[in-house]
Amino acid sequence: MTASRTISVSINGEVLTGDAAPRMLLADFLRDVLGKTGTHVGCEHGVCGACTIIVDGVAARSCLMFAVQAEGADIKTVEGLADGDDLHPLQKLFSEHRALQCGYCTPGMLMTAIDLVESNSSLTTEDIKVGMSAALCRCTGYEGIIKAVTAYAEQVHGKPVRQESDNG
Amino acid sequence: MADTMPSYIGRSVVRREDNRLLKGAGTFVGDMKLDGMLHVAIVRSQLAHARINAIDLDAARGVDGVALALAGADLKDVLPPISGMQVTAPKTWRDGMDPRIEIPDQTLVPHDKLRYVGEPYALVVASDRYIAEDAAELIEGDFETLPPVANAEAAVNADALVHDHLPGNIAATLHAKKGDGETALETAPRRLKRRYFHHRYAAMPMECRGVVAEYDSRTDSITVWSSTQVVHWVRREVANALDMPEERVRVVAPDVGGGFGGKGHVYPEDILVAYLAKRLGRPVKWLEDRHEHLLNAAHSRDNLFDIEVGFDDDGKISVVKNYFLVDSGAYSPVGAAIAGNSIAHFMGPYDIPHYESDCKVMMTNRTPNAPYRGAGRPEVAFAMERSIDLIANELELDPAEVRFRNMIQPEQMPYAVGLPYRDGVMIEYDSGDYPEALRKALDGVGGLDAFRKRQKKALAEGRYLGLGLGCYVEGTGIGPFEGATVKIDSSGKVMVATGACPQGQGHETAFAQVAADIWGVDIDDVVVTLADTSHVTMGYGTIASRSAVTASGAIQESSDKVKEKVFAIAANVLEASESDLELRDGSVGVKGVPEMSMTLKEVARAALPGWIHQRPEGIEAGLEGTAYYEPPTVTWAYAANAAIVEIDTQTGVVKIENYVEVHDAGTLINPAIADGQVKGGLVQGIGGGLFEELSYDEHGQLMTGSFMDYLLPTASDVPPINVIHSETPSPRNSFGFKGLGEGGAIAPPVVIANAVCDALKPFGAELNSTPVRAEDILNILDAGAAAAE
Ligand code: FES
Ligand code: FES
């Protein structure tokens, strides 16, 4: 087996270093080496979105990246959202709109939603549904998630999200 | 209930679970890391049915970092199998069902033969998971392929036997009878005979299963953290397998990422990981990956029904004959419980005088079948509710009308069904208004007449709209019991522990609401501990829509014991009569005399053992009580569903325009949580009705072994859903609660099938099996087009 390399990444603004073999998944590196277990894995084949994080400003599936690919990257994970006891606005909206039950999908949902909302200033309801389809939730049936993300988009962009199509 | 009015039950209190989960600060089994922890990889069968000649572990053992490699032969005389009867049945049920049950025990790691793709036959323990998997790949097996028993129907006449001691591959037969079905069928003016198939799909929680165990040699005890719904069952089986006192086995379910029944029984890995930790003297972790989960975590449904219904020209049903096969796969971890549910729930909300049911639980070379949200009810709701639509078609009546004509009327409540429930008690629906629920559901989709007009108009424009209905009743809050311990210590906090094991249901919040009302305290003064065997001596767990009813009952009964002491001690200290005392705002005080009171904290101190206690004579020290609530029988939740669909004739895709469920689970503890439970269930039902499918080829190979093939519903698949909650209190417990965890998942498959058939009525289409695939619809449309030419 190829020898481990030392990998350095910035996680939520803090530079962390750990060893990873070339084949180690980024998700495993975050969770097992750096102890950032807030990022979850639900499939390890790129479908469920539970492992979604933000790498250099873009949402990425940490189960589809190797740790070595993240060398020097600027990574945001769920652990970086709240400011101490003060929840991030999207986290508050998730609780308010009952967007979580078991909470297993939640970190991936939050990171997916942040990327979706912050990189699109004119989202429609349909865009939100399609965008959030990048992550699976087995508990909630999505209604609360869509409501929370819609409310967040309205907060961030200061205008109502347009209803689109007949059943919006 | 406290003397003060309830103030938390019925309120959508924000969940106390949310904060940690939103921050990524929850602890799931996969998040656990213990010093010196080793990791397990399990080698699983790629053959459906095969004799094991030899397993070669040498190469795996030679890999650097491997601590242990084992095959079934190494464990054969070490670990006993898991009993085939994880769930027992009372004698009164047996008497009523005339069952023959020979559910096979499940060997943890077989040494002689493999019975399904995914069954474990060897394992490797190594310093990390990557190494464990490398070594696992080096394990070679010499197998002799046996002919697979591919499905339940084939199993009946197959030469091959899944278990040599079960001739005909029959693991259980059940019979039930009400009235005289034979004669009723002979005399019925009309008869309908159909075959229905409800396909195989599964719970599919987002967190796969996982187990961590740590052995402590000083106390000869073991702690097991498992992603399970039943910690006390796991404790029982681990203690039994390792021959340890239950007191020395602690089982904890930390945060659990969904369960829905799929984690509702003991699996071989629960025991294996505990064994390995003890044997190696180091913590051991096993995490299931998604492919393993699809292959090896229990599947569900997969029932084949042959139904005959007798009815008259008005559509009034006089008799149902329900013969069905359950494809239980290679084992049946909860015995005949699903089949028992199916038999008991068939007639649903309808008043049917004669019923006969005969069921065979079949062993096949498929993954074991165990309860999943609904557990035998979606299957029979499909058969019953499709039959009603077909009767309506034959008589040219509206399906809604046929339902109204057959429904049990509110004045018939309580309604005796004439069959025993799984708890051995004769079924009596306790409360509710079934026709009213259906009326509300129809109103919810805009009214029946309005829809029929719209449908006609749309048809004239070449658009196919359909209305689907589906009604069901659900026995909830089943026994045998749940345990709870309630304590008040010198901090004055009310501490509640129960055997309930939540997987996302918000139990920490809901039971805090219940306890706060029982004690008349602020909810922040209630501490709730769940899913930890060290806090409750005996418990049962969270399956079968039972915890709201059973854990609340146990919290109430244990609180009652503690309250007796609280009142006796307060009466002593306040020099008042017990009958003049009441609970108010965290205190006990004399009614009408606000200044005469003491806080629960003060009562707890007065209750301490020792020289300065203030207990009256005969009152034992400490404010602590344990009770095991044994419900008299189940409570009956019910629902009516209505959905409007439109068929895309180009693609065959079913678009659900609007879905309404009117659901009644009695008094709701936390309406927002309840709403989330029902909606989450509905979306699972929609997934099962349209997309999700565990399909096998003729060799017994699973064709849908990843999320590329097993399609879960996503945010954009979900239609607008409206859940209307009725709250008819159950008379069977003082809170009026009924259970609601499963209900949502029951109706959607048949509602969708009925709606599609309604939409495609011009084609004379019948869809009598699930899922409703786009290609089935295109076939109907093509056949119709061909016929028209
Ligand atoms: S774990 Fe990465 S997408 Fe599922
Ligand atoms: S909250 Fe459980 S999977 Fe989304």
Q: What is the pLDDT of residue B523?
A: 97
Dmax over Cα atoms in chain B, in whole Å? 99
Whether the predicted pLDDT of B698 surpasses 50: yes
- CA-CA distance, B50 to B139, in Å (whole number)? 17
Q: In terms of CATH, what superfamily is A89-157?
A: [2Fe-2S]-binding domain (1.10.150.120)
3-state helix, strand, coil in chain A (%, to 5): 35, 20, 45
CA distance A159 to chain B (A): 23
Residue range(s) occupied by CATH 1.10.150.120 in chain A: 89-157
- CA-CA distance, B373 to B742, in Å (whole number)? 5
Contact A104 B257 (CB under 8 A): yes
Q: Is B136 exposed, middle or buried (0-12, 13-18, 19+ CB in 10 A)?
A: buried
3-state helix, strand, coil in chain B (%, to 5): 30, 25, 40
B255 CB neighbours in chain A (<8 A) are 102-104
Phi and psi of B32, rounded to 5°?
-80, 140
* B362-386 pLDDT tens trace: 999 999 999 999 999 999 999 999 9
CA angle centred on B228, ends B245 and B272, rounded to 5°? 55
| Chain B interface mutation, best of A129, A138, A149, highest count of B Cβ atoms under 10 Å | A138
Q: Is B23 on the interface with A (CB under 8 A)?
A: yes
Q: Are B119 and B330 in contact (CB under 8 A)?
A: yes
Nearest CA among B511, B517, B495 for reference residue B547: B511
Whether the predicted pLDDT of A70 surpasses 60: yes
Q: What is the mean pLDDT of residues B196-205?
A: 98
Count Cα atoms within 13 angstroms, Cβ side, for B652: 12
Alpha carbon separation from B440 to B448, B663, B664, B744, B781 (Å, rounded): 11, 10, 12, 17, 32
* B652-665 pLDDT tens trace: 999 999 999 999 99
A167 CB neighbours in chain B (<8 A) are 657-658, 719-720
Q: What is the pLDDT of residue B87?
A: 81
Q: What is the mean pLDDT of residues B74-103?
A: 88
* Ligand 2 neighbour A138 (Cβ under 6 A): yes
Q: What is the pLDDT of residue B764?
A: 87
Q: What is the mean pLDDT of residues B728-738?
A: 96
Whether the predicted pLDDT of A168 surpasses 50: no
Q: What is the pLDDT of residue B789?
A: 67
Whether the predicted pLDDT of B207 surpasses 60: yes
Contact B130 A21 (CB under 8 A): yes
Nearest to B22 among A37, A87, A129 (CB): A87
CA angle centred on B204, ends B547 and A78, rounded to 5°? 90
* Ligand 2 neighbour A101 (Cβ under 6 A): yes
Alpha carbon separation from B22 to A43, A85, A90, B425, B711 (Å, rounded): 20, 11, 10, 43, 26
Task: Provide the pairing of β-strand A5-11 with A74-76.
Answer: parallel
* Ligand 2 neighbour A139 (Cβ under 6 A): yes
Q: Are B438 and B623 in contact (CB under 8 A)?
A: no
| Nearest Cα residue in chain A from B290 | A43
Q: Which top CATH class is A5-79?
A: alpha beta
Our measurement of the distance from residue B29's CA atom to the centroid of its chain's CA atoms, rounded to an integer in Å, reads 21
Residue A24, both tokens: 């180690």
Q: Whose CA is nearest to atom 3 of ligand 1?
A: A46
From ligand 1's centre to the CA of A52, what distance in Å? Answer: 7
From ligand 1's centre to the CA of B721, what distance in Å? Answer: 28
Domains of chain B: residue spans and CATH: 18-24+479-629 (3.30.365.10), 209-287 (3.30.365.10), 300-478+632-788 (3.30.365.10)
Q: What is the pLDDT of residue B33?
A: 97
CA angle centred on A84, ends A79 and A87, rounded to 5°? 75
A43 CB neighbours in chain B (<8 A) are 290, 706-707
Contact A143 B718 (CB under 8 A): yes
| Nearest Cα residue in chain A from B657 | A167
Q: What is the mean pLDDT of residues B223-233?
A: 98
Residue type, B734: S
Whether the predicted pLDDT of A167 surpasses 60: no
Nearest CA among A65, A33, A27, A63 for reference residue A45: A63
Which atom of ligand 1 has the smallest separation from the CA of A62? 2
CA angle centred on B380, ends B727 and B501, rounded to 5°? 55
Over chain B, what is the mean pLDDT?
Answer: 96
**Residue with tokens 């080496």, as numbered in its chain:** A33
* Ligand 2 neighbour A100 (Cβ under 6 A): yes
pTM above 0.95, yes or no: yes
Phi and psi of B5, rounded to 5°?
-70, 150
A24 CB neighbours in chain B (<8 A) are 130
Q: Are B509 and B15 in contact (CB under 8 A)?
A: yes
Contact B716 A129 (CB under 8 A): yes
* A97-137 pLDDT tens trace: 999 999 999 999 999 999 999 999 999 999 999 999 999 99
Length in residues, chain A? 168
Nearest to A42 among B20, B206, B684 (CB): B206
Whether the predicted pLDDT of B1 surpasses 50: no
* B145-170 pLDDT tens trace: 999 999 999 999 999 999 999 999 99
Count Cα atoms within 13 angstroms, Cβ side, for B237: 31
Alpha carbon separation from A32 to A38, A88, B30, B216, B587 (Å, rounded): 11, 25, 10, 24, 48
Question: At B693, is the secondary structure helix, strand, or coil?
Answer: coil
Confidence of residue B3 (pLDDT cuts 50, 70, 90): very low
Q: What is the mean pLDDT of residues B763-769?
A: 92
Whether the predicted pLDDT of A1 surpasses 70: no
Nearest CA among B661, B646, B635, B584 for reference residue B737: B635
Q: What is the mean pLDDT of residues B267-277?
A: 98
**Residue with tokens 């109430």, as numbered in its chain:** B556
* B8-37 pLDDT tens trace: 999 999 999 999 999 999 999 999 999 999
| Nearest Cα residue in chain B from A166 | B657
- CA-CA distance, A94 to A113, in Å (whole number)? 11
Which atom of ligand 1 has the smallest separation from the CA of A64? 2
Which atom of ligand 1 has the smallest separation from the CA of A46? 3
A48 CB neighbours in chain B (<8 A) are 206, 290, 707
* B475-524 pLDDT tens trace: 999 999 999 999 999 999 999 999 999 999 999 999 999 999 999 999 99
Residue A155, both tokens: 């907060």
- CA-CA distance, B719 to B699, in Å (whole number)? 37
Which atom of ligand 2 has the smallest separation from the CA of B504? 2
CA distance A131 to chain B (A): 9
B657 CB neighbours in chain A (<8 A) are 167
Phi and psi of A55, rounded to 5°?
-115, 120
Residue B462, both tokens: 């070449």
Q: Is B683 on the interface with A (CB under 8 A)?
A: yes
Give the contacts of B456 (CB within 8 A, at least 6 positions apart). Answer: none
Q: What is the pLDDT of residue B335?
A: 86
Quote the DSSP letter at residue B737. Answer: B
Nearest to B708 among A47, A95, A136 (CB): A47
Which atom of ligand 1 has the smallest separation from the CA of A61? 2
Residue B107, both tokens: 């060997």
Confidence of residue A166 (pLDDT cuts 50, 70, 90): very low
Q: What is the mean pLDDT of residues B521-542?
A: 97
* Ligand 2 neighbour B676 (Cβ under 6 A): no
Q: What is the pLDDT of residue B92?
A: 86
Residue range(s) occupied by CATH 3.10.20.30 in chain A: 5-79
* Ligand 2 neighbour A103 (Cβ under 6 A): yes
